A = this chain, B = another copy of it.
């Protein structure tokens, strides 16, 4: 049976990417070797790494001075590497708290400087993106989480502030154009939603923000180490980077992040319209801040939750269970999710309505 994978991450990637990645594990480009056994210093992998960096530059339209890096450790590692690299002793940064990940990021940052939470939607269960706040002076950066995977909220416009934005884009990078990149100081994203499989983390950093004395930070934790060595200071995660490169190549072939945004808007509209129309279901995020990536919803009659989940799984829809902290359901509809799968889910919701209304 065909599966429709609505997992929040690791999550669906394009079918072509799976096919090409599987072949590379068997025999990489007819070399007689698996991609898993080639040297990270080989010409073949250097080309992969170069192409991956270039695709990031092209797709996101990065100006001079911005360096893409393929690191490891997930966004959770960036939670401390960002303030460690961007704050000097005694400096301060502003954070907006829009959910579990934002909250973790600011907790880790507190070890490295004064961290002020300038806005939060915590008291409302993180159901919206705070927009009414003013930033005092003296902040090195403002940190936000562009898309909140658990709560299904997303920044639809970037905050207008006078300091560089530092953005955790783990769950919506490459899903839409960034607009004017010069507003960003640093962007980071775990690969395992829109970019590739688990195992690598993209960091895009504006180099002039790195002001520590050379040698002050552990070598592996200083972004400049990885900038100087183009993400190959030590052995990088070869296969996760390779599959990310294939996925970014696919994004480009499909028409880039502009095409992704059009598709993502169409998919999200379809699903939210059904949630709003169908009396059995209710969306949990505030409408104006609804995420195009993660669509959380609950049943008006909670006693039907198990039935609906089983009904969906029998039909081949997996990964729909909401995060354990909020319950209900969550349909993640990342770049690689075809609109046909969203239509299929909508039909299931309608069929469920006919049975239980």
Task: Give chain A's interface residues, CB within 8 Å of chain B.
Answer: 1-3, 5, 7-13, 18-19, 21-23, 25-26, 31-34, 36-40, 72-77, 79-80, 104, 107-108, 111, 190, 192, 197-200, 218-221, 233-240, 243, 316, 318-319
Contacts and interface: CB of A to CB of B under 8 A. Distances in A.
Contact of A23 (B22, B33, B190, B220): B22
A37 B10 contact: yes
B243 A240 contact: no
B8 A39 contact: yes
> What are the 4 A-B residue pairs with the smallest beta carbon separation, nearest first?
A199-B237, A72-B72, A22-B25, A80-B218
15 contacts: A3-B31, A3-B33, A7-B38, A8-B39, A13-B34, A13-B36, A18-B36, A21-B25, A36-B197, A72-B72, A192-B238, A198-B237, A198-B238, A199-B200, A239-B239
Q: How many copies are assembled?
A: 2
Contact of A32 (B1, B73, B192): B1
B10 A38 contact: yes
Given A198-B237, A199-B238, A76 B34 contact: no
Contact of A318 (B33, B218, B220, B240): B33
A273 B72 CA distance: 42
A239 B22 CA distance: 12
A6 to B, nearest CB: 11
Given A73-B72, A197-B239, A37 B19 contact: no
Contact of A199 (B23, B72, B79): B72
Nearest to A12: B37
A73 B31 CA distance: 28
A235 B10 contact: yes
Contacts of A22: 22-23, 25-26
Most buried by B among A11, A40, A72: A72
Contacts of A77: 73, 220
Contacts of A36: 10, 13, 18, 21, 197, 243
Contacts of A8: 39
Nearest to A237: B199
The CB with the most chain B CB atoms within 10 A, among A1, A107, A219, A235, is that of A235
Contact of A13 (B13, B37, B73, B74): B37
Given A73-B77, A198-B235, 16 more contacts: A7-B38, A10-B36, A10-B38, A12-B37, A13-B37, A18-B25, A22-B22, A39-B319, A76-B219, A77-B220, A79-B220, A107-B219, A108-B220, A197-B239, A198-B238, A199-B199
